[in-house]
Amino acid sequence: MIRFEGIHKSFSAAGREAVALHPLDLTIQAGEVFGIVGHSGAGKSTLLRLINGLETPSGGQLTVDGQRLDTLDANGLRTLRRRVGMIFQHFNLLSSKTVIDNIAFPLRLAGVAKARAHARAQELLVRVGLEAHRDKYPAQLSGGQKQRVGVARALATEPKILLCDEATSALDPQTTASVLQLLDGINRELGLTIVLITHEMDVVRRVCDRVAVLDAGHLVESGPVAEVFLHPQHATTRRFVAESEDVDEAALRDDIAHVEGRLLKLTFTGDATWQPMLGRVARETGIDYTILSGRVDRIKRMPYGQLTLAITGARADEAARHFTDAGVHVEAIAR
Ligand SMILES: Nc1ncnc2c1ncn2[C@@H]1O[C@H](COP(=O)(O)OP(=O)(O)OP(=O)(O)O)[C@@H](O)[C@H]1O
């Protein structure tokens, strides 16, 4: 659906050239939820804004829905933008218009008659669960409700792609969860391709299929979320994952320095997450174990578990093999 080939972008500010994105290649498939994670200034917004032509690349080729963007004239660009909806961190609603008029606005701009635009807006209002707020103004809504209006407005022109610019960063955790659920439902029911930028790995974990990590304008890692999240390769990715898991790395290092035995990090995915494996392996091999850290959670809909264990006993090697044979990813931690 979206293909970046050698795309790069520089800005000149105060007579100096600043590189926002170094040359990168990236393909986003139709129907997937794709996350782009990075710290402030990493180039996320620039990348997103290239997709709907709000920014022009300094070089490389960008193809969206089969069309090379550099071949589009103003008219072509307008048509493209109707196929690419966008939602924003601060919602960007029109404060002087009611909810229904905000949602109908892109259709009115595209020349759709009022009655038809309102009928479509009404359908969208139902989809995002805001029927009761139809005639309110944005100032009368909560943050989560405003973002739902933003989503409905973005869907008004029946886009194929939805760009989400830090769409949940201004929301509390519970509201974030409900907006992510809404996006997940839209992706599944409408088959819409969603590209989401965020500085929170947790948002990626909950809703994305694949992810790319940006660091100072470089694409440093990309792949399926389960792979990148559970086995991060780049230091920046590892930091994002640790932040999202709320791991106190210093405390863990301290525990690791003091505890006896062999240290293993076990990663269970899918059904293995629910097997009573620790007890079984301990009984069969006579090992003892101490759990130094652990969590069970989900990556989108896939359950996973991660445990850091200190194992003591003569048959620790055999125990590690038992875990591997059962499909558990085993990583030895050096100290
Ligand atoms: N219009 C512009 N003119 C000059 N420099 C720009 C412009 N837009 C972005 N930049 C620079 O490009 C770099 C990447 O910015 P960008 O907004 O894409 O990062 P970001 O990852 O989205 O950050 P944030 O999370 O803070 O929004 C930054 O160094 C920024 O200062």
- The best mutation among 8, 22, 46 to test binding of ligand 1, ranked by most ligand atoms within 8 Å of the C-beta, falls on 46
Is ligand 1 within 6 A of the CB of residue 46? yes
186 and 204 share a domain? yes
Q: Among residues 56, 64, 301, which one has the least CA distance to residue 187?
A: 301
For 113: left if phi > 0, alpha if psi spans -120 to 50, otherwise beta; the answer is beta
**Which residue puts its alpha carbon closest to atom 18 of ligand 1?**
43
- Ligand 1 centroid to 21 CA: how many Å? 9
- Ligand 1 centroid to 45 CA: how many Å? 7
| Domain boundaries, position 253 | 247-332
Which segments in the chain show pLDDT lower than 70? none
- What pLDDT was estimated at residue 253? 79
- What pLDDT was estimated at residue 82? 87
29 and 170 share a domain? yes
87 and 198 share a domain? yes
CATH of the domain at 60: 3.40.50.300
- What pLDDT was estimated at residue 3? 98
328 and 188 share a domain? no
Furthest-apart CA pair in the chain: how many Å?
78
Is ligand 1 within 6 A of the CB of residue 21? no
CATH of the domain at 272: 3.30.70.260
**Total of domains in the chain:** 2
Cα separation, 9 vs 11, whole angstroms: 7
Is ligand 1 within 6 A of the CB of residue 44? yes
- What pLDDT was estimated at residue 282? 94
33 and 80 share a domain? yes
Out of 201, 221, 243, a domain closes at 243
- What pLDDT was estimated at residue 319? 94
- Ligand 1 centroid to 253 CA: how many Å? 35
**Which residue puts its alpha carbon closest to atom 6 of ligand 1?**
11
Is ligand 1 within 6 A of the CB of residue 13? yes
Is ligand 1 within 6 A of the CB of residue 42? yes
120 and 252 share a domain? no
Q: Which long-range contacts (CB under 8 A, 24 or more apart) does 323-330 make?
A: 323/264, 323/266, 323/277, 323/281, 326/272, 326/275, 326/277, 327/269, 327/270, 327/272, 328/266, 328/267, 328/268, 328/272, 328/277, 329/230, 329/231, 329/266, 329/267, 329/268, 329/269, 330/264, 330/265, 330/266
- What pLDDT was estimated at residue 145? 96
**Closest atom of ligand 1 relative to the 45 alpha carbon:** 22
- Ligand 1 centroid to 232 CA: how many Å? 25
- What pLDDT was estimated at residue 243? 86
**Which residue puts its alpha carbon closest to atom 13 of ligand 1?**
20
- What pLDDT was estimated at residue 250? 79
Out of 243, 261, 296, a domain closes at 243
Is ligand 1 within 6 A of the CB of residue 11? yes
